[in-house]
Amino acid sequence: MNTAARTPRHVAVIMDGNGRWARKRGLPRVVGHQQGVDRVHPVAQAFAHRGVEYLTLYAFSTENWRRPRSEVSALLRLLSTVIEAEARACLRDNMRLRLVGRVDQLSPELQAKVKAAIEMNSENTGLTLCLAFDYGSREELVRAARELALRGLSPDAVDEEQIARSLYTAGMPDVDLLVRCGGELRLSNFLMWQAAYAELCFTDVLWPDFCDTDVDNALEEYSRRSRRFGALPKGDTS
């Protein structure tokens, strides 16, 4: 199999660099997070207009609880203040909002807001905008293993499909393109199962500066990749 990579169905973005964006301007880190939040919808629209069906954005990791309490509170407050507006914007633009990650550490009020936001546009048919909040691949896999055990599956019945169906991303296709902005070259516990065969794209652009040109650059880079999934390139059988 040699699938020419054209438009990815599923793009995942590690939205990194908010803190540095603010620090460069002598501003508190939380201002960077606010600016970062403002990029979410325009970037989702840019990917949607270019034919991408699923966009998963890493907003808060299971490790981000290690940050100072004031920053964690600010990030939770931001989610709480923007989730409804984002759901309305998705409703208007025929996007479907989804959350992946642990919700049980969030306050009951925030959980209710998240639930209402997701229900608001569950009928939409365009891009699925998936926010990864309190998300970590390892937590997700442990949870999936527990779920399979609780269902009493015999060892023989455990296969890749059963695991995939027990992940937060159940029903979504694998990640085709994973973009990390902010200059770091690591996955930081993001979608390690789903991105097993993703094309990786790293950029120094800080998330609050991420614009349509960066979307185009990432998609252009993806289109030049040759995806082989372990097989040989087409015609190379000698």
Residues in touch with ligand IPE (CB under 6 A):
14-20, 58-61, 64, 75, 182, 184, 186, 188
Inter-CA distances, 237 with 21, 118, 201, Å: 49, 49, 29
Q: Which does residue 64 touch among Mg ion, ligand IPE, none (CB within 5 to 8 A, set by kind)?
A: ligand IPE
Q: Which of the listed partners (ligand IPE, Mg ion, none) does 131 bind, with a CB threshold of 5 to 8 Å by partner kind?
A: none
User: Least distance (Å) from Mg ion to the CB of residue 178?
Assistant: 16
Nearest alpha carbon to residue 218 among 35, 38, 55: 55
State how far the Cα of 140 lies from the Cα of 132, in Å rounded to an integer: 11
Token duo for residue 83 = 């989730």
Catalytic residue status for 94 = no
CB 58 → ligand IPE: shortest distance, Å?
Answer: 4
Distance CA 207, CA 220 (A): 19
Binding mask 15-34 for Mg ion (x = CB under 5 A): -x------------------
By CB under 5 A, tell whether 176 contacts Mg ion: no
Nearer to Mg ion, 8 or 19 (CB): 19
CB burial of residue 170 (10 Å; 0-12, 13-18, 19+)? exposed
Give yes or no: 64 in active site: yes
CB of 64 to Mg ion, least distance (A): 9
In Å, the largest CA–CA distance within the chain is: 62
Cβ 146 to ligand IPE, closest distance in Å? 24
Cα separation of 175 and 171, whole Å? Answer: 12
Q: Which of 2, 64, 93, 174 is catalytic?
A: 64
**What amino acid positions are annotated as catalytic residues?**
16, 64
